[in-house]
Structure 1
Amino acid sequence: MMYSFIILFVALFGQGKVLAIVDNIKITDKMVSPNEPLEKVIDDVLFYKYCVENGYLDSIKEQSENYRNSMIISTSYKMFVEDKAKVTEGEILAFYRNYDKEMLISVVDCSTFKDALRALGEIRKGVPWENVVNKYSKDVSLMRRGGKFTLRWRYFPDNITSKAFRMKKGEISFPFKQGNKWYIIRLDEIREREIGTYDQEKGRIMNQIRNEKAQYYSRKHIEYIRWLLSIKFNEKNMKELLDIIPKGKVREPYIFPEEYYGKVLARTRIGNVTYKDLQEFTLLDGRPPIVNTIDDLKNYISWKMIQRMLIKEGEKYLNHKKYGVYEQILKNDISLLLSYIRKTQWDKMQISEDTLIAFYNANKDKYIEPEKRKVSIIQMKDLKELQKVRQMLKKKKFSELARKYSEHFSKDKGGDLGYILKETYVDIGRIAFGLKKGEISDEFQKFDGTWAIIKVEDIIPQTVAKFENVRYQVERDYRDVFYERLRKEIVDKMRSKTKIKIFKKEEV
């Protein structure tokens, strides 16, 4: 039951304009969209209070928590990544100094330092670089390129890039480590790229630096979360699991027998991951991941636990209560509640045919079928040729000439486009709806640059659609009006027993 009342007693953090207070729920400027009346938002909050009082919040708990958690994680991302990824003028200027350079290098990667020393010895003896790569490298893509590689400057350069930009043409490096491999590089060529002035390139450089920073800080934070979790996998139980779950792409969530629930797949500092947890993960996702190997399963469990840890971390920083975040969570809950009540209660209400017909008769202006015109077209690229064809219309039928001369896709149908609305083909419609029945237009240029003449074969005037043709729309419209009436009744009842304070502009 506590969940049902948590959000009611949330205090808003951060600075923001409080426009109104509905009992203990503050409505800030972040809850009111542009051109949206404050009264409409107050009504939404009153409806929300009604749902809470009647226990409906528990019915949307799963969807609500999913959205809340996504907001917590995205707020953490802004705090730990985006805010750190801001770019200064000095960083842009420093980056610009190397922006026009492109380094063509030759690379050999080796598994061990000893192999790297042997490779260096062979290179110094004059063995072709490609042969050395084929002998020591295990990187297939590098072997295909003969060890050749092109580098550009980066904000966070790796060891290879840093060394290459400090080397002279023809220089060969001593073996150095990057990741789990040892590398030797040779700078073959320094190319000058054509770039714009500093002011012209500033925006692109800023975006590149910001993206690199975001990737860097995001990766670092995930690594930190992994370290905090300290995940230890139970490979024995994971192998047993792989034997019972379907392989490849699976549409349905995993459902395990209850006797499997307690089996531990992994241990972390925030709790164990069991078969039951895995089942809940896939139920929330709607479908399981593609799992064929233990590594696939490890990756899935790791990411799920990282998400769980990110949520706990965000809750620690009260991300869900921050100004702008709290309001979005509340508005989402209101939307979910309205949808839930509409689906589970209001949509089940039977509406008589007589009621729908009466609504249709009272709102016929909503069901107008716009004017339609039956149009034929002759289209050609050459205006002069089209003018010649138009002269032939004095003796020959429009459809006959369309079949013979038109370059439009409708030529086989004698240029017949069928009945069109004014908006169906805008360039044709604006001409067609200015003609009388049987009238042929002058030559005009279409949006695609071709030339055309059209003939209005028939006109169906604007008319009211028959009830049976729009019955579905009538019922939908009636339900919208009816539901809004029900909602208003609820809101009016809540208003009569709720304390509402609306602040004047000078009080905000």
Structure 2
Amino acid sequence: MKTHSPRSCSRIHRRMLLLASAAGLWLGAVSCARAPMTSAAIIDGDTLSMDDYRSTLSAQFKGADVAAAQPVAKRQEVLERMVRDRLIAKVARDEGWYERPEYLAQKTDYENEGIEREIYEMKVAAPLLTDSLLMDTWNRQGTEVKASHILFRWSDDSTAVRQKASTVYEEVMGGLPFAEAAAKYTEEPAGKQRGGELGWFTWGSMDPSFQQACWGLDVGSVSQPVETSFGVHLIALEDRRAVQVRPSFEESKDDLKQAARNSMRNEMIARGMAYIDSLHQEYGVTILPGVVADLHRELIRRLVPEKNFLTLLTETSEAWGDRPLIHWVEGDVGIEELKDYLGKRYHAFTVDTPQSEIERILKDMMLPRLLAKKGRAMNLDQAPDVVEQVNKRLDRAIQVEYENQHFKAASAVTDAEIAARYEAQPDSFMHEPMVRVQEILVDDSDLATMLCNRARSGEESFDSLAEAYTTRPGKKPLRGNLEAFAAGRYDAMGEKAFTMEVGEISDPIALGNKWSVIKLLEKLPSRRMRLDEASTKIRYAMEREKRDALEAEFLARAKAAHPTIINERAAEIVYQPTK
């Protein structure tokens, strides 16, 4: 029976958990044709369904309710982008992008990741997350309980924590009211104020050990000490009642599965590690400890005093040659494969790095190879969910690069083009009119009125009053001077500033719960931007114009090659109830 260090278990299981855890122009190339009402669009015979459209809208706007509240025009934009993306994928396929070596390799990587998820679900999760288990949990969720607890948090002396909990338990059993005991002993601050009350809760909302104890109690009884990751608890069950309204079992299933994954983490770790061991045996994986020991000694010899593991391997590889570190059914694995695996990830290597750390990295390196080999033998690369996700991810990767090459790069503009646009449109690149003010901002309207009167009377200078009284952060040392600003800043104060004359002092102006008194120092008229000030704005506008023209040209060609029909009412009816 193989054993694993806690660190090895943690690293490998983290990977396993990760596996568990990617209008006119648009209204059809056929002038009078309409897509069937059940479709959002048809691109060269391929249907873009209303379900896909709804899913994309919900993702785009962070929820179906938010998406349904959007104007029809915004939902139409999303549909247009979806059609455009599918046309890019079709044109890219026509041009052979999907057969390029880099995308074939990427497809393999995506397939392997999908295979890993499928294996995790089949071999680790599914045997544990059975319908009977989920149904039992759902049945338990039909009841909610009301409880209180006393918490004794873990410390370095766990024996003392347990002893304290036992002592208080005896006091409660001897007649000390539970609420008084909680106020006196609990180490949960909020619990002291509430007598340890937790209120009502359902199954699945507490630590597994805690809720197991709660559901095992009779109303009015107190548990013996219960241990959780938080500490040791005494639990008093105050009441129990049926949940009146809740989702059906089928509606709850996904949430039930996720809750079960969380509560059965240790069981999943154990099952995952056992399955990995079985793959090592099935495929004859042998990490050669003697050879790894030689490599470890060689790395230590070259260490001065700490280096990136990959750097050390690179320095060692020429002298090391092709000596294998691992045997398995598909051949030997050596230092070059280990270097490829490490890639750009930083692994510090010091004199304290044990040989077992190299063996752990080698085992991590083999895991995706084993899962890919096993999954392909099971034809999991052809599983519908895997194929769907691979196609979506590959389409997206190719779409992004196709856009970069054909639209983004091709729409770049030169400095000479920017300068020519600047000279050709002298009135298009102007600074807005601005004002510069001095301000006294205070919390009280009476104080603001008094300061306004003192400033207007000349009794005291605006400079000294602002320096003494203004509360705007950082403005006391500047005697209330604000940076020049355009219309739209500072709400009512900014609006008032644009109606004043230079040297004029305003009445107090309400700004939220504060009051502002301002003196207008300067009016700055609109002026033409310098070329360096306008260049970013000009570049963006010109690149957008070029890109729009390139995309329009592309779409015209793409629709000619791949006849496209868009449901003219899709954006309007997508969230209407179906009859």
How far residue 356 of structure 1 moved from its aligned partner, in angstroms, is 2.2
CA contact (8 A) 1:432 1:456 kept: yes
Matched, 1:318 2:384: yes
Residue 400 of structure 2, aligned match among 330, 335, 342:
335
TM-score, normalised via structure 2 length = 0.57
How far residue 377 of structure 1 moved from its aligned partner, in angstroms, is 1.5
Residue 509 of structure 2 corresponds to: 444
Residue 342 of structure 2 corresponds to: 282
Matched, 1:393 2:433: no
* Aligned partner of residue 410 in structure 1, secondary structure: coil
Residue 118 of structure 1 corresponds to: none
Matched, 1:381 2:439: no
Residue 479 of structure 1 corresponds to: 543
How far residue 379 of structure 1 moved from its aligned partner, in angstroms, is 1.8
In structure 2, relative to structure 1, the CA distance for the partners of 1:384 and 1:339 (3 Å cut) is same
CA contact (8 A) 1:369 1:462 kept: yes
Matched, 1:467 2:531: yes
In structure 2, relative to structure 1, the CA distance for the partners of 1:450 and 1:214 (3 Å cut) is farther
CA contact (8 A) 1:228 1:269 kept: no
CA contact (8 A) 1:400 1:414 kept: yes
How far residue 393 of structure 1 moved from its aligned partner, in angstroms, is 0.9
In structure 2, relative to structure 1, the CA distance for the partners of 1:196 and 1:504 (3 Å cut) is same
TM-score, normalised via structure 1 length = 0.64
Residue 414 of structure 2, aligned match among 351, 374, 386:
351
How far residue 389 of structure 1 moved from its aligned partner, in angstroms, is 1.2
Amino acid at match of 2:386: H
Residue 140 of structure 2, aligned match among 87, 91, 113:
91
Residue 482 of structure 2, aligned match among 403, 413, 417:
417
How far residue 281 of structure 1 moved from its aligned partner, in angstroms, is 3.0
* Aligned partner of residue 521 in structure 2, secondary structure: strand
Amino acid at match of 1:418: E
Provide the C-alpha distance between the structure 1 equivalents of 2:121 and 2:508, rounded to a whole number of angstroms: 58
In the alignment, structure 1 segments of 5+ residues that lack a partner are 1-15, 108-138, 179-184
How far residue 424 of structure 1 moved from its aligned partner, in angstroms, is 5.1
Amino acid at match of 1:91: R
How far residue 417 of structure 1 moved from its aligned partner, in angstroms, is 1.4
CA contact (8 A) 1:373 1:459 kept: yes
In structure 2, relative to structure 1, the CA distance for the partners of 1:19 and 1:216 (3 Å cut) is same
Provide the C-alpha distance between the structure 2 equivalents of 1:251 and 1:453, rounded to a whole number of angstroms: 64
* Aligned partner of residue 454 in structure 1, secondary structure: strand
Q: How many residues align?
A: 440
Provide the C-alpha distance between the structure 1 equivalents of 2:82 and 2:225, rounded to a whole number of angstroms: 69
Provide the C-alpha distance between the structure 2 equivalents of 1:335 and 1:102, rounded to a whole number of angstroms: 55
CA contact (8 A) 2:106 2:394 kept: no
Amino acid at match of 1:48: A
Mean Cα deviation higher: 494-503 or 389-398: 494-503
Provide the C-alpha distance between the structure 2 equivalents of 1:307 and 1:457, rounded to a whole number of angstroms: 69
Provide the C-alpha distance between the structure 2 equivalents of 1:86 and 1:421, rounded to a whole number of angstroms: 61
In structure 2, relative to structure 1, the CA distance for the partners of 1:366 and 1:212 (3 Å cut) is farther
In structure 2, relative to structure 1, the CA distance for the partners of 1:161 and 1:338 (3 Å cut) is same
Mean Cα deviation higher: 488-497 or 374-383: 488-497
* Aligned partner of residue 484 in structure 2, secondary structure: strand
Paired-residue identity, %: 15
In structure 2, relative to structure 1, the CA distance for the partners of 1:106 and 1:338 (3 Å cut) is closer
Of the two structures, which has the highest relative contact order with CA contacts closer than 8 Å and spacing of 6 or more?
A: 2
* Aligned partner of residue 477 in structure 2, secondary structure: helix
Provide the C-alpha distance between the structure 1 equivalents of 2:401 and 2:462, rounded to a whole number of angstroms: 57
CA contact (8 A) 1:104 1:191 kept: no
